[in-house]
Amino acid sequence: MKIRVGHLYPDYLNIYADRGNIAVLAQRAAWRGHELEISLLGMDDPIPPGDHDLLYVGGGQDREQLLVASNLAAKADQLVESVERGAALLAVCGGYQLLGRGYRGFHGQDMPGVGLFPLETVAGERRMIGDVLLECELESGRKRTLAGFENHAGRTRLDAGAVPLGRVVAGFGNDGRSGFEGCRVGRAVGTYLHGPLLPRNPWLADWLLGQALAHRLGGAPELEPLPDDLEAAAHEVASARARARGGRF
């Protein structure tokens, strides 16, 4: 089956090897007999609700975010409706910030947001950098860990009642204070974790693929388990580095 993926602003939001997330999704889908059909969505491209099973927004520095922010905000209704109609979404770092209500950059630039995630972000004086480890529960009663790397000046504050992606075990997370990282709205996930994220966290890649297939089929299928020995080893190395760093919030 074809899984239709919309990759937003790949020429701008592509920092820290985050294109690798798409490569991981494509390979894990292929191993199970599915195909990723990837549409590169730039400045002149709409985001028609229903056309994509999964949307992806990568990270970028303030300069790149400023270049795309107004264009992305103009497509807010399309993107929000896509998620409301069941599309999955992954947004990383700069993409995560712009999918909130807005982002005030390091030099005071006010960038409009999409308003999908119930949060706002303002850049602080000091960057928050290093390995990070989260405890997540995307499926009720099943806790798992996410390991990655954060490098951001943004202080992201969730609205009261907003659902974080996970609890910070080690690292800074959204703001270095709350103990939370990322945000989740339905099948949409936003996070600061770079590296890229999915190679060392195959369970999250499979969760996103399952949600994308659920959008296409009307229900999430059981995905055949894969031999993830190398991925598990990468996760353990990253987790150990984060634990050695300790909590920072």
- CA pair distance 8, 65, nearest whole angstrom: 12
The DSSP letter of residue 80 is H
- Annotation says 136 is catalytic: no
Of 34, 194, 215, 235, the active-site residue reads 194
Cβ proximity of 94 and 133 under 8 Å: no
- CA pair distance 171, 130, nearest whole angstrom: 7
Of 7, 93, 136, 215, the active-site residue reads 93
- Closest to 134 measured CA to CA, from 123, 125, 147: 147
Pairing of strands 35-41, 2-8: parallel
- CA pair distance 78, 80, nearest whole angstrom: 6
Residues with catalytic annotation? Answer: 93, 194
